């Protein structure tokens, strides 16, 4: 039986290194056995026993050749959205006889028009050289208040890493947003966070606020079938900025036989810091309970109640099921 690992609290934050946010691996010292771009893909990576390439065993990760000279291998990641990092997972899943014994992580902040190869980068160490276990999550908390746009993963001396997950808070320059500009205040790229839910058996709540439409049924938030009469499943999202909501979009893309019958959205202005206390907040109805359909974008504007400036929204679904995306459009206050 596989040992279940208790994940740190920071893994509930947005993975700033997710490919779906626009993150790219842009350069590396070597990726002879497996390409660097795998580092930012979703999931943990898979293993196919008898799959090979012309260079050797196919691996779902980034893997350099065996190093025969001094030094170490490295890979530079451009984050899809700048952010402040709370923790990382250097995942060596399926890398057993070929994982790096140690790794470190450095970061920098470049302006939008700067390129790594053209800039004189002053890399800041955010994770010192640290041991890695084979075929495992390697979680490390990060204590840096700085905002980073690029990361450099160093491995010592060589080997393979399946995925790099970088958990934290996206940074948005709100000084560029006018008081009448309408923006998706729930979007992960703007700093929105899914912070609490009663169930995410099939897929993670953070998917709700990712860019674009879901690519499949697994790319959304889906609860298990609930047999309790009158059941309501729910998820709470912390908005990126205090705002007044003008429009809500609920997308059930790919959910055909398992979409919720209906949904209702509440809002609150919560000044506390303890997420569990949100359940006792003064919730007001933003969107009354409304019918949903399969595999469809539902837009609600006239139905929105003017409840004032809020910090959080709570999506309630009746009785259970899956939602692909939630958009909460409003103006900042």
pLDDT tens-place values along the chain, 333 residues long: 344 567 899 998 999 999 999 999 999 999 999 999 999 999 999 999 999 999 999 999 999 999 999 999 999 999 999 999 999 999 999 999 999 999 999 999 998 778 887 668 889 999 999 999 999 999 999 999 999 999 999 999 999 999 999 999 999 999 999 999 999 999 999 999 999 999 999 999 999 999 999 999 999 999 999 999 999 999 999 999 999 999 999 999 999 999 999 999 999 999 877 777 888 899 999 999 999 999 999 999 999 999 999 999 999 999 999 999 999 999 999
Domains of the chain: which residue ranges? Answer: 9-170, 177-332
Predicted confidence at residue 4, as pLDDT, reads 54
Predicted confidence at residue 1, as pLDDT, reads 36
The CATH topology of domain 177-332 is Jelly Rolls (2.60.120)
Predicted confidence at residue 115, as pLDDT, reads 81
CATH topology identical between 9-170 and 177-332: yes
Q: Which of 191, 173, 190, 181 is nearest to 331 (CA)?
A: 181
Give CA–CA dist 19/15, Å, rounded.
9
The phi and psi torsions of 175 (rounded to 5 degrees) equal -65, -15
Predicted confidence at residue 159, as pLDDT, reads 98
How many C-beta neighbours within 10 Å does residue 83 have? Answer: 26
Predicted confidence at residue 305, as pLDDT, reads 98
Q: Model pTM?
A: 0.90
Residues 9-170: name the CATH superfamily.
Galactose-binding domain-like (2.60.120.260)
């Amino acid at each position: 039986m596989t040992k279940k690992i208790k994940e740190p609290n920071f893994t509930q934050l947005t993975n700033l290194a997710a490919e779906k946010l626009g993150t790219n691996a842009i350069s590396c010292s070597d990726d002879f056995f497996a390409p660097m771009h795998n580092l930012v893909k979703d999931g943990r990576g898979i293993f196919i026993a008898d799959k090979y390439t012309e260079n050797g065993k196919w691996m779902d990760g980034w893997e350099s050749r065996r190093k025969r000279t001094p030094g170490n291998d490295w890979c530079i990641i451009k984050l899809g959205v700048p952010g402040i990092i709370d923790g990382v997972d250097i995942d060596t899943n399926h890398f057993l006889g070929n994982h790096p014994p140690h790794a470190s992580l450095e970061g920098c902040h470049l302006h939008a028009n700067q390129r790594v190869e053209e800039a004189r980068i002053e890399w800041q160490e955010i994770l010192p050289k640290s041991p890695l276990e084979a075929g495992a999550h390697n979680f490390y908390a990060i204590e840096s208040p700085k905002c980073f746009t690029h990361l450099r993963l160093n491995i010592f001396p060589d080997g393979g890493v399946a995925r790099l997950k970088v958990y934290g808070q996206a940074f948005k320059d709100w000084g560029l947003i006018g008081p009448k500009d309408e923006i998706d205040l729930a979007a992960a790229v703007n700093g929105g966070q899914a912070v609490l839910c009663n169930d995410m058996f099939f897929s993670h709540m953070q998917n709700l606020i990712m860019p674009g439409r879901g690519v499949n049924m697994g790319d959304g938030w889906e609860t298990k079938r609930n047999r309790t009469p009158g059941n309501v499943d729910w998820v709470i999202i912390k908005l990126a900025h205090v705002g007044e909501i003008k429009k809500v979009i609920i997308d059930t893309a790919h959910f055909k036989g398992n979409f919720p019958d209906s949904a209702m959205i509440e809002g609150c202005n919560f000044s506390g810091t303890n997420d569990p206390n949100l359940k006792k907040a003064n919730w007001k109805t933003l969107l009354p309970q409304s019918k949903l359909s399969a595999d469809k974008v539902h837009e609600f504007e006239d139905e929105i109640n003017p409840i004032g400036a809020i910090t959080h929204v709570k999506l309630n679904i009746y009785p259970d099921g899956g939602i692909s995306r939630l958009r909460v459009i409003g103006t900042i206050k």
